[in-house]
Chain A
Amino acid sequence: MDNLENKKRLEHIYNQLVHIANGNFSYQIERTDQNDALEALTFLVNSTTEELRDAFLHQGFIKLHNSYEMVVQLYFELDNKGQILRTNPKVEALLNFKEGTLNGCPFAQFLEKRSQRGWKKLLKAAPKDKIWELTLELSFSERSGLLLPAHCHVIYFPEHREKNGTFMVTCFELVKYNGTDQGFLQKKLKKQLQAHGLLPRPEKTETHILHAMDMENLRKAERYIMDNLDMPLPSIRELAHICNTNEYKFKKGFKELFGMTAFQYQKHERLRKAHILIEHSNKTILAIARTVGFKKGNHFTREFKKRYGYTPSQLRKRSK
C-alpha cells in the first residue's frame, strides 16, 4: 500500500472525490492494469460518478423549467502540425494549468495515451487540402492525472493564401440551465403566444411528486412488474400498496420516473423481452407471446408491429 505508485492512485481517488463533492462529475480516474482493492475502489468511484451524472441529467429532463443547456467547454485552435495556437481560458482551468502555459505545446500532450494514439493517427491520415470535420471521443488528462472524457468536434481549415492550415477542436458539456435575462424574455414571449392560442397551453398539473416520494419504492413496483411479466397487471391500488403510497402519488410518480404508465411500461417490457426471444431462440412465436403474457397471438402480433414496425414472423425470418 505504501509504494509510490499506490500513493499516486490513492491521490487520484482523493482528488476525484473532492471534485464530486463540489458537484463536478466530468472527470474519470484513469484505470490501471492492477486488480487489487485500490483498483476496485477506483472502479466504484468512476461508476458512482457516472451514475450521479446520469441522475442529475434525468432530474433535468423531468424538471423542464429548470433544465440543462449545452455550452462550449473547451475550445482549441491548433496549427497544421497539431500545436496549440490558443484556447479559451476555461481550458486552463479545467486541465489545471497556469495561464498562457499551453500555447505552443502539442495538443496530444494533454490527451490520455489511448486518445493520443487516436489523435496522432487522425493527424497523419486526414486530408490537408480541404475542409473536413468529425466528432470523436477524446480523453483529456488534467495535470494531477484525472481523466476528462469529452465528445470533441474537430474541424480542419486548409491553407488559404499565406495562412497555414488550422484545426479547431471544441467540446460541449451539458450544464444546468440558469434562467438568464434571455430566458426570462423567452418565457414572457411564450406566455404571450400561449395566451393568443399560438402555442399549446402548458399542462396545469406540474407538481413534482418524485421529490416527495421515495424512488426506491417506485423501483420496487418496477421490479414487481418485471418479475411478473407473464401475469396480468395488478390494480393500481395494489401497486401503490407495494410502494407504500397512495394511488394518486403512485400514478403520478411512476409516470414521472419512467415516462409512461405502469400498464404501458409492462407492455413495453413484454415486447422487449419477446423481441429478444424471437431473435435468439427457437420457441414458436405463439409460445413466446404466452411467456410474455399475451393470451392471443393476433393481439401480440398487432402490438409488436405497432412498436417495432415489423411483425414477429418477419423478425424471425430475418434473424435466421
Chain B
Amino acid sequence: METELATMWLEDEILFFIWKEGISIDLSGAKKTVARRMVLQQGKPYRILCNINGVRHIEKEAWHFLSGEGAELVEELVLVAATPLERVFFKYISNRMRSAPIKMFPNMETARLYLSRPR
C-alpha cells in the first residue's frame, strides 16, 4: 500500500512501514498515513518495523499525534535510524510513546532479525 508519504506492507505477521526519502511530515500527512495503516491492519495490532531513513523533518503537532493517537494498534515498534538526525528523532519519540515498547536499529536486516525472533 502506498501513500504520498510512505509505503507499507504486511509480511510474516510484521508490518513494514517505510517513510519516503526527503519528506517533511505535518499533522494532516501524519493523520492520513495512520488512517491508511489502520485500514491495512484491519483492527489487528501488529509489530511494526518502521524505517525513518531520509525523513527530514517532523512538525511538533505531527509528533504528538504519532506518539499518541497515531500509535494505536502497535504491539511493538522498531525504528530503523542510521544518521544522527534520525537517532534524535528516535530519542524524541521514544520518550513520548507510552503504548508500546520501542527499539532502534541501524539497518533493516538487524531490525528484521530482532522482530522475527522466537517469542
| Residues of A participating in the B interface, judged by any CB pair closer than 8 Å | 31, 33-37, 39-40, 43-44, 47, 50, 223, 226-227, 272-273, 276-277, 279-283
Contacts and interface: CB of A to CB of B under 8 A. Distances in A.
Interface stretch (B1-9, B82-90, B105-113): B82-90
B83 A35 contact: yes
B96 to A, nearest CB: 11
Interface of B: 22, 35, 38-39, 41-44, 54, 56-57, 60, 69, 72-73, 83-89, 92, 98
A282 B69 CA distance: 17
Given A280-B35, A281-B42, 6 more contacts: A35-B84, A39-B84, A43-B89, A223-B98, A273-B72, A281-B73
Contact of B43 (A31, A223, A272, A282): A282
A43 B89 CA distance: 9
Contact of B38 (A272, A273, A281): A281
B43 A43 contact: no
Would you call the interface of chain B mostly helix, strand, loop, or mixed? helix
Contacts of A47: 60, 92
B85 A36 contact: yes
A35 B86 CA distance: 7
Contacts of A279: 38
Contacts of A36: 83-85
- Residue of B83, B84, B86 with highest tally of chain A CB at under 10 A: B84
- Residue of B56, B69, B86, B89 with highest tally of chain A CB at under 10 A: B56
Contacts of B56: 31, 33, 35
A280 B83 contact: no
A320 to B, nearest CB: 11
A276 B41 CA distance: 13
B98 A226 contact: yes
B43 A281 contact: yes
